[in-house]
Amino acid sequence: MERISLAEVRHVAQLARLQLSDEELAVLQGELSSLLDHVEAIVALPTEGVAPTAHPLPLSNVLRPDVPGPCLEQRDALAAAPEAAEGRFLVPRILGEAP
Amino acid sequence: MTLLGRGVAGIAAAVRSKEASAREVLAESLAAIEQLEGELHCFHTVMAERAEAAAAALDEKVARGEDPGLLAGVPVALKDNMCTKGTVTTCSSRILENWVPPYDATVVTRLRAAGAVVVGKTNLDEFAMGSSTENSAFGPTRNPWDTARVPGGSSGGSAAAVAAGMVPLAYGSDTGGSIRQPASLCGVVGVKPTYGLVSRYGLVAFASSLDQIGPFTLSVADSALGLEAVAGHDPADSTSIDRPATSYAGLLEEGVEGLRVGLIEDFVSEVSPSCAEAARAAAEALGAAGAKVEEVSIPEVLHGLPAYYVIAPAEASSNLARYDGVRYGLRVGGPDVAAMNARTRGAGFGKEVRRRVMVGTYALSAGYYDAYYGQAQRVRTLVVEAFARAYERFDVLVAPMTPSEAFRLGEKTANPLDMYVSDVCAVPSNLAGHPAVSVPFALGAEGLPVGVQVLAPALGEGLMYRAAAVLEQAAPPAARGPVRPGGERRA
């Protein structure tokens, strides 16, 4: 019995925006399950009252002075885009209806 | 002796004093790359023309009597996940195969300002995910000591380029051992600095709370210069530590007399006899040099690997969401945006990257977030606190670096967990944000180099380098590069 079902793997691939073949989903089911087995070693550790560490430095709200400075030109920002038009990134339609 | 053979400090001194020109040094480096690249595949891009222009400009600067900088004329290679304006930056991924960044990483800007000559971009595991460089979309790098073996990873191209004497200085990034593990496998010095010491601006993000850039060199003294040149506060990286950069070079002669050194026995029992023996011998060498050495058990460090394999993929799945086929990189078309995103990412990411994105997305998904990601963050705290207790008793810690000598290509590709275990001794330093160095210390049972790790508390690079310098003195020269492909020593 795998720790994670094929349906769950398919759902996670959707969340991750990854198009994967059925064959690869099945392989990932096994690999994710064995990795979760490995991680089980820490899932069971007692950590009640332990604060989580998200980051090694005690930082909060690092701000710079609100002074205008040079930044990337629009044409440079668009130069690597797969498609661009009229100063914007061009994408396929986003909503369901036909154009 | 060749100019390259003088190392970072020697080259900079020769160029500064006009004994040699930056162009002569560069010519040696480009000739070595030309000669060895076919066998080793360290580089994705060699920037010969641009490097020649930079070297010529530097020579003019010297001729004009201006300060040519700390790294005057030193040829440098960069892992291909550091942005170079106008030069393709691939991360070894199909999704960025043709991507030309519109800006330089801060380390690149600082290296050029210090007089270094950037010669090329090196191979890595795709998006720095791996321990062998076999996860590169453009083919693996080979270990110059034995070309049937891996150089380690993910910064394998940079480690092998220094080990083979192509460049005296290269930079990598270390998220969970990706500088130190290949340094150990290639017989070179590799440093992961304190988190926040070196700017991550322009380093393509893998796991942002763990990633840190550091140098590969043949000697400890050269490493100290390579770190000094790129360290220091950068307003463009909000996680950069806001304090002035320091020089480590003056500390290297200070020795370890009176330092308290702990040998982490929990790691010693995790590794091969050769690697364990090297760590014990290193502790003894520090003792012989006047340090007070004791064995110490820090059992929490062994929770590091499973915690890492939740935290790093979780951060990666979030960071890699930017590769959506919209703003840069590959696009595979589809009828709507969601299909285009999914097709682009399915086609553009390699197997290991897809696997980690899946693991990370799962660990962050509703219903599992607290059990996996939240728990891993709490375990991270346990690791940090355990180190803090250890550093009440010790100034630095010593440990094995890797579980084994360099393994064969293909040996660990079938089962991802086999590969992940390569970094068991490395990841706790990333979780804690502490500095650590791998120093070449011995030849193992298979005749390949074995590194030993020195760990220090945050901003303890000075102590770390002092211990590393003593270990370097105690180690047989045969345990470190440069070597020709096949292991023969280079002149």
Domain positions in chain A are 6-43
Q: Tell me whether A28 touches chain B (CB under 8 Å).
A: yes
pLDDT digits (tens, 9 = 90+) for B74-102: 999 999 999 999 999 999 999 999 999 99
Residues B224, B130: Cα–Cα separation, whole Å = 26
Q: Which residues of A touch B431 (CB under 8 A)?
A: 53, 56
Mean pLDDT across the stretch B189-217?
Answer: 98
Residue A93, pLDDT score: 85
Outline where B64-219 has alpha helix (H): 106-113, 156-163, 180-186
Q: Residue B439: which of B259, B286, B264, B301 has the closest Cα?
A: B286
Sketch out chain B's domains with CATH numbers: 4-258 (3.90.1300.10), 302-377 (no CATH)
Residue contact B362–A32, C-beta within 8 A: yes
Q: Which residues of A touch B309 (CB under 8 A)?
A: 35, 38-39
Residue B298, pLDDT score: 98
SS3 readout for B337-379? HHHHHHHHHHHHCCHHHHHHHHHHHHHHCCCCHHHHHHHHHHH
What average pLDDT does the structure give for chain B? Answer: 97
Quick one: which H or E segment has residue A80?
A: none
Residue B37, pLDDT score: 98
* Backbone angle region of B196, left / alpha / beta, with phi > 0 → left and psi within -120 to 50 → alpha: left
A positions 68-97 inside 8 Å of B (CB): 72, 76-77, 79-83, 89, 91-94, 96
Q: Count other Cβ atoms within 10 Å, centred on residue B478.
A: 14
Contact present, B160 and B151 (Cβ < 8 Å): yes
Residue contact B102–A72, C-beta within 8 A: yes
- Reported as a pLDDT band with limits 50, 70 and 90, residue A97 is low
**Torsion angle (degrees, nearest 10) of CA A13, A15, A18, A20:** 20
* Backbone angle region of B329, left / alpha / beta, with phi > 0 → left and psi within -120 to 50 → alpha: left
Q: For chains A and B, count residue pairs whose Cβ atoms are closer than 8 Å.
A: 163
- Catalytic positions of B, written as ranges: 79, 154, 178
Q: Which residues of B touch A15 (CB under 8 A)?
A: 361, 365
Q: How far is A1 from chain B (nearest CA, A)?
A: 18
Outline where B394-460 has alpha helix (H): 416-420, 427-432
Nearest CB to B343; choose among A19, A47, A94: A19
Of B452 and A61, more confident: B452
Paired strand residues for B10: none
Paired strand residues for B25: none
* pLDDT for residue B466 is more than 80: yes
Residue contact A82–B361, C-beta within 8 A: no
Which residues, in sequence order, are CB contacts of A99 under 8 Å at separation 6+?
Answer: A93
Closest A-chain CA to B102: A76
Nearest CB to A81; choose among B241, B328, B384: B328
Mean pLDDT across the stretch B403-407?
Answer: 98
- Reported as a pLDDT band with limits 50, 70 and 90, residue B480 is very high
Residue A98, pLDDT score: 56
B positions 427-446 inside 8 Å of A (CB): 431-434
Residue contact B375–A43, C-beta within 8 A: yes
Alpha carbons within 13 angstroms on the beta-carbon side of residue B254 total: 15
Closest B-chain CA to A47: B378
Q: In Å, how far from its chain's centre is CA B455? A: 15
Q: Tell me whether A55 touches chain B (CB under 8 Å).
A: yes
Residue B290, pLDDT score: 98
Outline where B289-329 has alpha helix (H): 304-319
Residues B168, B78: Cα–Cα separation, whole Å = 12
Nearest CB to B358; choose among A12, A47, A53: A12
* pLDDT for residue B491 is more than 60: no
Of B256 and B489, more confident: B256
Interface test with B, best of A17, A28, A37 (most B CBs within 10 A): A17
Q: Which residues of B touch A59 (CB under 8 A)?
A: 238-239
User: What CATH number matches the domain at A6-43, 1.10.20, 1.25.40, 1.10.340, 3.40.1350?
Assistant: 1.10.20
Residues A57, B384: Cα–Cα separation, whole Å = 11
Mean pLDDT across the stretch B304-331?
Answer: 98
Q: Tell me whether B358 touches chain A (CB under 8 Å).
A: yes
Residue B1, pLDDT score: 77
Q: Residue B462: which of B285, B184, B294, B246 has the closest Cα?
A: B246
Residue B375 identity (one-letter amino acid):
Q
Q: Residue B400: which of B220, B267, B296 has the closest Cα?
A: B267
Task: Give the burial class of B121: count Cβ atoms within 10 A of its Cβ; 0-12 exposed, 13-18 middle, 19 or more buried.
Answer: buried
Contact present, B188 and B144 (Cβ < 8 Å): no
Which residues, in sequence order, are CB contacts of B87 under 8 Å at separation 6+?
Answer: B45, B47, B50, B100, B101, B121
Mean pLDDT across the stretch B351-373?
Answer: 96
Mean pLDDT across the stretch B345-351?
Answer: 98
Closest B-chain CA to A35: B417
pLDDT digits (tens, 9 = 90+) for B32-53: 999 999 999 999 999 999 999 9
